[in-house]
Structure 1
């Protein structure tokens, strides 16, 4: 507990500098592979009835969480027995791998680059790597909106929420959160295959993101003012449209981003060949343009820095309270 703030700060700086190199083995890929493996095995033991699929999904959630937190806990324990600084070094590396700010910027800018060149097909291909919707028929505006929405939503899921959990419980609690979030992204679809099997994962993700999403929104509003964006618009649209999404959490930061940029996001989208009617978020004060991807990333980084300062203070305060007696 004593060194959590140090590890979180170092991890944030490492992510700022290096992001997630593709050659470096990433624990989230391991968690994803484990989810896929366990899903295949568990489905063999549970009949295809709603109740049994929910039970099977619950078993998967429990197993994934036990492994995803047990391994880092064990490694950190052994490192601490070796030397306290060895634990700090290992936990810093873990914190670094749990924060996704630079990779979020990198992947969204892969969409920005072909858009700037007028290469719509290249932009569609790039955005298909970071969104779940059908992208083959998206217009330039649709591609841009998808990228901006991804940056806005993942400011919470990929940056602020992991830092909050790490501030409270170090890398172990951070891995707990990332395991929940990864299961949500893989098995929590509302389609025939996952409607029941992924229900527990979706429910747990909503709970784990409830507070972080709202903290993220407040920090993003503050960041919009610091960055001289439309802070008043960010607050107005947040208060009006923060629930314009099927998820109770996703529109929290999307609404702030839409208001800060003065654009309209969300709306109808195609998933697996099926049109899903969705509410819009924000007002179309101007057309969406590809430069909004860069602006959304600036807003994400501003929010991340404010979050880091807040959570470092929270971690230090928590340590002092817990070990005062």
Structure 2
């Protein structure tokens, strides 16, 4: 199985760039999400509704979901490779493809860009609501654009570079391991009344598994900024200054680079679940953010992804072959 990891990852990456996530295909992340929802319901019924009880329930959720997302794909790959190496390679390539989000992130964020270009602010609000967790009903055109650029920046790490790293380490199993944790964090890792205890374990584990990938993503993005002619020196300056301007230890890493490279200001206060959260800004307010910055952010996304694949491939060949 190990000899096929690099070819499978590279094939999966190319499939993601070319095909993305077809709407007709049931996505494994939906299956993971359904499992999380079902387990949460059962665990909340079984464990006491105390701080300790909810934390224990959240820990059991993490154990169950991560175990399932490692054992099931691992078992399927074992059987496929036993059947024939080609069968294993095809299955592992598809697993890697489905756990990457490069093209889908561009596709969904560019829908926001297209609505803004058409001066359809309400349509842009609806489009951006599909890719961000904040409340979007009252967002201005500037707020919509900022939200889209931020999600491209953050998900360059979460949706592309981090999965690639774990794929290089453990193939399709590594991809599912990472995506299980990341999906749990996106569903239960909130600090609101409902999840502040239940989601603690998932949120902490997500911070841990993203710690190295987020920082690697930031420097890959700096390289992409330099190659693509953006303000790479400002990207480094803003990264060093603002990379901690977020409640998460990882989220501001790529956002800071993106803000510096584009010469705009990101983050700041935002509404979530009807409540205003005060957040520090990232970057200098040199100019007003514009719809064209969404296109530029996607250019950075693709450049960062290609650089990461090249670096990971060279490291894999140097270490494993």
TM-score by length of 1: 0.98
Aligned residues: 320
Q: By how many angstroms is 1:316 displaced?
A: 2.4
Task: Return the alpha-carbon distance in structure 2 between the equivalents of residues 26 and 271 of structure 1.
Answer: 27
**4+ aligned runs moved over 6 Å, structure 1:** none
Task: Return the alpha-carbon distance in structure 2 between the equivalents of residues 25 and 139 of structure 1.
Answer: 34
What is aligned with 1:323? none
What is aligned with 1:186? 187
What is aligned with 2:13? 12
Confirm whether residue 212 of structure 1 aligns to residue 213 of structure 2.
yes
Q: By how many angstroms is 1:22 displaced?
A: 1.0
Q: By how many angstroms is 1:291 displaced?
A: 0.5
Task: Return the alpha-carbon distance in structure 2 between the equivalents of residues 315 and 181 of structure 1.
Answer: 24
Task: Return the alpha-carbon distance in structure 2 between the equivalents of residues 112 and 15 of structure 1.
Answer: 21
Unaligned regions of 5+ residues in structure 2, if any?
Answer: none
Q: By how many angstroms is 1:273 displaced?
A: 1.1
Spell out the pairing of 1:89-104 with structure 2 (5 A cutoff).
89-104=90-105
Task: Return the alpha-carbon distance in structure 2 between the equivalents of residues 7 and 179 of structure 1.
Answer: 20
What is aligned with 2:64? 63
* Secondary structure of the corresponding residue to residue 2 of structure 1: helix
Task: Return the alpha-carbon distance in structure 2 between the equivalents of residues 318 and 53 of structure 1.
Answer: 43
Contact kept, 8 Å, 1:152 with 1:300, in 2: the verdict is yes
Q: By how many angstroms is 1:29 displaced?
A: 0.7
Task: Return the alpha-carbon distance in structure 1 between the equivalents of residues 206 and 3 of structure 2.
Answer: 28
What is aligned with 1:239? 240
Task: Return the alpha-carbon distance in structure 1 between the equivalents of residues 319 and 171 of structure 2.
Answer: 12
Q: By how many angstroms is 1:190 displaced?
A: 0.4
Query: What's the CA shift string for 1:152-206, capped at 9, x where partnerless?
Result: 0000000000000000111101110000000000001100000000000000000
Task: Return the alpha-carbon distance in structure 2 between the equivalents of residues 44 and 37 of structure 1.
Answer: 11
Task: Return the alpha-carbon distance in structure 1 between the equivalents of residues 75 and 316 of structure 2.
Answer: 22
Task: Return the alpha-carbon distance in structure 2 between the equivalents of residues 309 and 122 of structure 1.
Answer: 37
Task: Return the alpha-carbon distance in structure 1 between the equivalents of residues 134 and 44 of structure 2.
Answer: 26
Task: Return the alpha-carbon distance in structure 2 between the equivalents of residues 218 and 100 of structure 1.
Answer: 20
Q: By how many angstroms is 1:108 displaced?
A: 0.3
What is aligned with 2:146? 145
What is aligned with 1:52? 53
Task: Return the alpha-carbon distance in structure 1 between the equivalents of residues 256 and 312 of structure 2.
Answer: 23
Task: Return the alpha-carbon distance in structure 1 between the equivalents of residues 177 and 44 of structure 2.
Answer: 23
* Secondary structure of the corresponding residue to residue 259 of structure 1: helix
Task: Return the alpha-carbon distance in structure 1 between the equivalents of residues 235 and 133 of structure 2.
Answer: 26
* Secondary structure of the corresponding residue to residue 276 of structure 2: strand
Task: Return the alpha-carbon distance in structure 1 between the equivalents of residues 62 and 315 of structure 2.
Answer: 29
Q: By how many angstroms is 1:25 displaced?
A: 1.5
Contact kept, 8 Å, 1:73 with 1:172, in 2: the verdict is yes
Confirm whether residue 125 of structure 1 aligns to residue 126 of structure 2.
yes
Q: By how many angstroms is 1:314 displaced?
A: 2.4
Spell out the pairing of 1:231-310 with structure 2 (5 A cutoff).
231-310=232-311
* Secondary structure of the corresponding residue to residue 46 of structure 2: coil
Task: Return the alpha-carbon distance in structure 1 between the equivalents of residues 297 and 35 of structure 2.
Answer: 33
* Secondary structure of the corresponding residue to residue 3 of structure 2: coil
* Secondary structure of the corresponding residue to residue 243 of structure 1: coil
Q: By how many angstroms is 1:318 displaced?
A: 3.5
Task: Return the alpha-carbon distance in structure 2 between the equivalents of residues 110 and 59 of structure 1.
Answer: 38
Contact kept, 8 Å, 1:8 with 1:312, in 2: the verdict is no
Unaligned regions of 5+ residues in structure 1, if any?
Answer: 321-325
RMSD between superposed Cα atoms in Å: 0.7
Query: What's the CA shift string for 1:22-80, capped at 9, x where partnerless?
Result: 11121111000100010001110011100010000000000001111111101100011
* Secondary structure of the corresponding residue to residue 44 of structure 1: helix
What is aligned with 1:175? 176
Q: By how many angstroms is 1:315 displaced?
A: 2.4
Contact kept, 8 Å, 1:167 with 1:314, in 2: the verdict is no
